[in-house]
Amino acid sequence: MANSMVFTKPELKATREGYGEGIAELGGKNKNVVALCADLTESTKLTGFKNKFPERFVEVGVAEQNLAAIASGMAHMGKIPFISSFSIFSPGRNWEQIRTTICYNDVPVKIASTHAGVSTGPDGATHQALEDIALMRSVPNMTVIVPCDAIEAKKATIAAARYKGPVYLRFGREKTPIITKEASEFQIGKAEILKEGKDITIIACGTLVYESLKAAKALEQEGLSAQVINCHTIKPINKKAIIEAARKTGAVVTAEEHQINGGLGSAVAEVLSENCPVPLRRVGVNDSFGQSGEAAELMKYYGLTAENIVKAAKEVIVIKEAEIGMFANPEQAQGKLLSEVAPEHYFQLWGGEVIKTVPELEKALEKMDDHTFHYHVNKERNDFSTWIQDCCGDRMLAEELRKRTDREEMIEVLKKKLKEAKK
């Protein structure tokens, strides 16, 4: 859970500082950890590591392509190299070397990039990396992590050293609120629920996690309950957590300091479109470059604030309620259970039988063999529950079915519901 002081008196610290602390700690624990930099040692917070372990620090100069290639060679010899530069330079300038010498060979190089996003501020558009998540998550074998605060950044750095293969770590320049605790769990690939809610799910990474918590608080004041998820690992993304959240709330907003194309929002959209389609809005930079300015005013200008998340949440809730299946009138929902769904929503059982109505599903459950039933209902999924939720619109019935793995119990639930619908 988020620190309770987060809204009253938040401690401010840049995520790049967490990286510096993490790699310095790693250096004392693992002699195979080495650090390489492209003439930005102080800015990327590598000074501590350099001073403690000068024999394991390499300054390659303004040569980001060499930075990646040398690190790959060191990784082949058993080292765990961390390469550091600004995000716009690494992976911005050395993407091909990262792809070919690091990812293609699947070696454990950790790419630690700082000064990401528009919060880089006065440095302007040329130094504001807004496309780096898209670049990195598109490459095979790459893991992508975007910590939400300095504490999580330190944990992510330490975890990355133990993690197999290449890892991309994205850090910011600006000091941002500390919202996690030293004792908070961090696991690569696992999204963390910071706040429970039932009306809308907000999935965020990096600096926008804090803004999402603020947005959730504002929504509460208007009677709307928002779930907030810190999705620090963009790849591999936690599909199970996203699907469960979407089924629970029926509407999703993503928030990130990155282009809306190719980043967290796109990754979440891919998961939902294939597994649990629900209304979605993406908060991020809308297909434009940055510009010079103070970090706070740029975040506001590009719509990266709690207010923008609140607006998106309200829009998506309206869409959810207006969609087929989210009926204000319960009788209308019950009528949907008895009618035939559109042809494109017919349910096809393993084996070929097509189901067009819930009564047909009930009859099919009674006669299908165990192999077919367990194909559709197992630890990973409940296809019947998902179909009823997505195509028939009865979320409560879908949840009742999802809780059950016994076929007879599912049949009884359906019979009871259909009996009520016929009255």
DSSP string, 110-126: EEEEESBSGGGGGG-GG
| 357 contacts 402 by C-beta, under 8 angstroms | no
Q: Quick count: other Cβ atoms within 10 Å of Cβ 339? A: 10
DSSP assignment of 328-370: SSHHHHHHHHHSPPPGGG-EE-TTS-EE-SHHHHHHHHHH--H
Which of 17, 21, 25, 64 is the catalytic position?
Answer: 64
Amino acid code (one letter) for 303: G
Q: Catalytic site residue 64?
A: yes
Q: Are strands 167-170 and 143-145 parallel, antiparallel or unpaired?
A: parallel
- Which residue, among 205, 142, 201, 184, has the nearest Cα to 15 in the 3D structure? 205
Residue type at 236?
A: P
Residue the block writes with tokens 């650090």: 35
Task: Encode 154-192: b = buried (16+ Cβ within 10 Å), e = exposed.
Answer: bbbbbbbbebebbbbbbbbbbbbbbbbeeebebebbebb
Active site amino acids? 64
